[in-house]
């Protein structure tokens, strides 16, 4: 199956959709030479983030092996991750 998402490291909490996805679509990506997949539970615009596992409220979120912010609510695996459920790194650091 062709990949429709990108992840940089296995430490990342999110993948990036390289195509727009609808709830129920299979999210497929390569990680350490292994194909991974799960179902999107929400619609996700192209180039937006999708949680690869459940992320509890208050947890830091990593993308490209860098902390990008903190979850403002519980985020389910397969859910769109964006400003509606993620505070930016600057806000988390009090800047």
pLDDT in tens, 3-45: 999 999 999 999 999 999 999 999 999 999 999 999 999 999 9
Domain housing 63: 5-92
Angle at 66 between CA 36 and CA 80, to 5 degrees: 55
Q: pTM of the predicted model, to two decimals?
A: 0.91
Tokens of 15: 């993948």
SS3 78: coil
- pLDDT at residue 88, as a whole number: 85
CATH code of the domain covering residue 55: 2.30.130.110
Number of domains in the chain: 1
Query: Is the Cβ–Cβ distance between 4 and 45 less than 8 Å?
Result: no
Q: Using CA atoms, how far apart are residues 32 and 17, in angstroms rounded to an integer?
A: 18
Checking if the pLDDT of 95 tops 60, the result is no
Q: Length of the chain in residues, anyone?
A: 95
């Amino acid at each position: 199956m062709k990949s429709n998402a990108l992840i940089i490291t296995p430490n990342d909490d999110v993948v990036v959709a390289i195509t727009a996805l609808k709830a129920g679509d299979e999210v497929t990506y390569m990680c350490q030479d292994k194909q991974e997949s799960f179902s999107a539970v929400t619609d996700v615009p192209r180039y937006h983030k999708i949680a690869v596992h459940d992320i509890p409220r208050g947890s830091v979120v990593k993308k490209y092996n860098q902390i990008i912010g903190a979850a403002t609510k519980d985020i389910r695996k397969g859910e769109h991750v964006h400003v509606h459920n993620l505070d930016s790194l600057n806000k988390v650091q009090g800047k």
